[in-house]
């Protein structure tokens, strides 16, 4: 699709921005629109997923049919079947007359099912039947009815994870995701943030009959680097607040910071945070958390070296053993370890500083004075088990903190931890970590 066509779609549907990810999502929506394929739109809350469902409907042969947008998460579980598929008179309490559901009313049109991940399992089974053969049954009836409806679904949760947790039907997932479209988060759209800000500022200036606010260079940089967990909706609200409350037309960095939550003020997740609560304890990651993790990793390396020393002394075949474990020796020497530990001592807060170097050496160095002593490996094995347990506990604790901080968004939790999302998912299963509240 040519850039002119994409630009025309943007103007028609009021989409602001030029980022490559946004343009690609529009391109996919326009390409799939003329077909009858089901579409799954994925993206965080507030990214504008409903706009893409309207693009698909308006550019399809069904454009003259009805379009209905339904938020599955906003309908109570007890009534969602009735809302979608209708009910007969007397089907349940207060069902005083028969009622058509959305799938019956929208015959020949398009239904947009937002937050499809919140749909109950029973309703998922009914929806699957509609997708497979266009059939549904009203609540309280045994008569099969036909409908010709195109379903466009959207979700802000990981449906594959929901499938693995038995909260979402696998067959329904593959039915819905014939063509997936990923709507990028605002933080992924670069300069689009400032374009949207100017658009919102102009709109609110007209609404409140004031001059549009604008950002100085420092404030613009802060806004462009902010993570925007609420995406476009959050940016719009922020712009509206400043347009209404600020008397000065130009917004500087100090003024902008009053409207941006202090715990997440930049695009990269804040792994090292000095902000503390009223009780002196930081709920997010602290320097101490990270430095302790470094120390535990170093302890593990030293434990491996101790085992290797024992193997050398026992076998006498020094050359082969060193060759097999060359990676443990590369870059590890007394000077580098001492230097690292000195840096750790300097970085730790003065009120909680520990003599890391001496503690590290006392707990991990074995003094072998006689070759006969190397036959007893009980102490090494026992310490290795304790180290392993301690490392696992620390790792689990760090993962839980990352999940809490990022509201169970694995993508950003993995980024905070410096690991891949796949590795994080494996660790969550390994430690049997539940969703954090």
Tell me if 269 is assigned to some domain: no
Q: Where residue 170 sits, what CATH number does that domain have?
A: 3.40.50.300
Q: Are residues 230 and 351 in the same domain?
A: no
Residue 2: the pLDDT is: 84
Q: Are residues 177 and 211 in the same domain?
A: no
Residue 326: the pLDDT is: 53
Residue 315: the pLDDT is: 60
Q: Name which residue leads in pLDDT, 354 or 308.
A: 308
Q: Are residues 130 and 220 in the same domain?
A: no
- 394 band by pLDDT with thresholds 50, 70 and 90: confident
Domain hosting residue 227, numbered range: 190-264
Our CA dihedral for 67, 73, 74, 80, rounded to 10 degrees, sits at 70
Sign of the Cα pseudo-torsion (239, 245, 249, 252, in order): negative
Residues 6 or more apart in contact with residue 286 via CB below 8 angstroms: 272, 273, 274
44 contacts 181 by C-beta, under 8 angstroms: no
> What does the pLDDT look like over 176-223, one tens digit per residue?
988 999 999 999 999 999 999 999 999 999 998 889 999 999 999 999
| DSSP codes, 372-387 | GGGG--HHHHHHHHHH
What's the rounded mean pLDDT across residues 228-240? Answer: 94
- 169 band by pLDDT with thresholds 50, 70 and 90: very high
Residue 366: the pLDDT is: 39
Residue 392: the pLDDT is: 77
**Taking 70 as the threshold, does the pLDDT of residue 400 lie above it?**
yes
**Taking 80 as the threshold, does the pLDDT of residue 262 lie above it?**
no
DSSP-derived secondary structure letter, 139: B
> What region does 288 belong to: left with phi over 0, alpha with psi -120 to 50, or beta?
alpha
Backbone angles phi, psi at 17, to 5 degrees: 135, 155
Strands 250-251 and 214-215: parallel
48 contacts 55 by C-beta, under 8 angstroms: no
What's the rounded mean pLDDT across residues 130-138? Answer: 94
Residue 342: the pLDDT is: 54
Tell me if 279 is assigned to some domain: no
User: Which range scores top for mean pLDDT: 94-108, 272-286, 366-380?
Assistant: 94-108
Q: How far is CA 434 from the centre of its chain?
A: 16
What's the rounded mean pLDDT across residues 106-134? Answer: 95
Q: Are residues 150 and 103 in the same domain?
A: yes
Tell me if 104 is assigned to some domain: yes
Residue 300: the pLDDT is: 66
C-alpha–C-alpha distance, residues 112 and 166, integer Å: 23
Residue 22: the pLDDT is: 96
Residue 93: the pLDDT is: 76
Backbone angles phi, psi at 41, to 5 degrees: -100, 120
Q: Are residues 157 and 300 in the same domain?
A: no
C-alpha–C-alpha distance, residues 121 and 238, integer Å: 37
Sign of the Cα pseudo-torsion (151, 152, 156, 158, in order): positive
Q: Are residues 22 and 166 in the same domain?
A: yes
Domain boundary pick from 166, 184, 202? 184
Domain boundary pick from 163, 184, 205? 184
Tell me if 280 is assigned to some domain: no
β-sheet bridge partners, residue 151: 111
Give the pTM.
Answer: 0.60
C-alpha–C-alpha distance, residues 101 and 109, integer Å: 14
Q: Where residue 225 sits, what CATH number does that domain have?
A: 1.10.8.60
Tell me if 7 is assigned to some domain: yes
Average pLDDT of every residue of the chain: 79
Residue 56: the pLDDT is: 97
- Structure-block tokens of residue 103: 């799938």
Q: Name which residue leads in pLDDT, 313 or 28.
A: 28
Give the three-class secondary structure for 112.
Answer: strand
Residues 6 or more apart in contact with residue 317 via CB below 8 angstroms: none
β-sheet bridge partners, residue 67: 110
219 contacts 259 by C-beta, under 8 angstroms: no
Tell me if 278 is assigned to some domain: no
Which residue pairs from 392-399 have beta carbons closer than 8 angstroms and sit at least 24 positions apart in sequence? 392/431, 394/292, 394/293, 394/296, 395/293, 395/427, 395/431, 396/427, 396/431, 396/433, 398/285, 398/289, 398/293, 399/424, 399/427, 399/428, 399/431, 399/433
Total structural domains within the chain: 3
Tell me if 272 is assigned to some domain: no
What's the rounded mean pLDDT across residues 24-38? Answer: 95
Residue with tokens 């063509």: 179
**Taking 60 as the threshold, does the pLDDT of residue 168 lie above it?**
yes
Q: Are residues 250 and 298 in the same domain?
A: no
What's the rounded mean pLDDT across residues 233-257? Answer: 93
Residue with tokens 């039947």: 129
Residue 362: the pLDDT is: 39
Q: Which of 150, 149, 155 is nearest to 181 (CA)?
A: 155
What's the rounded mean pLDDT across residues 128-137? Answer: 94
Tell me if 437 is assigned to some domain: no
């Amino acid at each position: 699709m040519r850039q002119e066509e994409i630009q025309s779609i943007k103007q028609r549907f009021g989409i602001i921005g030029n980022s490559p990810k946004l343009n690609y999502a529009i391109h996919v929506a326009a390409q799939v629109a003329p077909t009858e394929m089901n579409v799954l739109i994925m993206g965080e809350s507030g990214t504008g997923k409903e706009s893409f469902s309207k693009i698909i409907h308006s550019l399809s042969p069904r454009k003259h049919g009805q379009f209905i947008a339904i938020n599955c998460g906003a309908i109570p579980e007890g009534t969602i079947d009735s809302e979608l598929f209708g009910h007969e008179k007397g089907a349940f309490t207060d069902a005083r007359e028969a009622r058509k559901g959305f799938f019956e009313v929208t015959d020949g049109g398009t239904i947009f099912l937002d937050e499809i991940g919140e749909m109950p399992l029973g309703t998922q089974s009914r929806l699957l039947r509609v997708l497979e053969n266009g059939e549904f049954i009203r609540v309280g009836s045994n008569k099969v009815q036909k409908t010709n409806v195109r379903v466009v679904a959207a979700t802000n949760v990981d449906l594959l994870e929901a499938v693995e947790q038995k909260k979402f039907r696998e067959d329904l997932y593959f039915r819905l995701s014939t063509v997936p479209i990923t709507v990028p988060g605002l933080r992924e759209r670069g300069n689009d943030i400032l374009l949207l800000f100017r658009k919102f500022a102009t709109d609110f200036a007209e609404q409140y009959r004031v001059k549009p606010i604008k950002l100085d260079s420092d404030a613009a940089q802060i806004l462009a680097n902010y993570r925007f967990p609420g995406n476009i909706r959050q940016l719009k609200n922020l712009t509206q607040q400043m347009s209404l409350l600020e008397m000065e037309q130009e917004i500087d960095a100090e003024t902008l910071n009053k409207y941006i939550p202090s715990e997440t003020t930049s695009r990269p997740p804040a792994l090292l945070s000095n902000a503390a609560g009223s009780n002196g304890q930081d709920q997010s990651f602290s320097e101490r958390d990270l430095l302790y993790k470094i120390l535990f990793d170093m302890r593990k390396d030293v434990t491996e070296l101790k085992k290797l020393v024992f193997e050398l002394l026992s076998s006498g075949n020094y050359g082969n053993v060193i060759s097999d474990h060359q990676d443990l020796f590369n870059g590890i020497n007394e000077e580098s370890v001492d230097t690292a530990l000195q840096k750790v001592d300097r970085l730790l807060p003065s009120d909680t500083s520990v003599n890391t170097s001496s503690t590290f050496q006392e707990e991990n160095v074995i003094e072998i004075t006689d070759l006969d002593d190397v036959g007893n490996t009980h102490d090494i094995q026992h310490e290795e088990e304790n180290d392993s347990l301690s490392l696992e506990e620390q790792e689990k604790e760090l993962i839980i903190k990352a999940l809490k901080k990022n509201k169970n968004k694995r993508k950003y939790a993995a980024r905070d931890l410096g690991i891949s999302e796949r590795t994080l998912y494996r660790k969550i299963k390994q430690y049997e970590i539940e969703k954090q509240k």
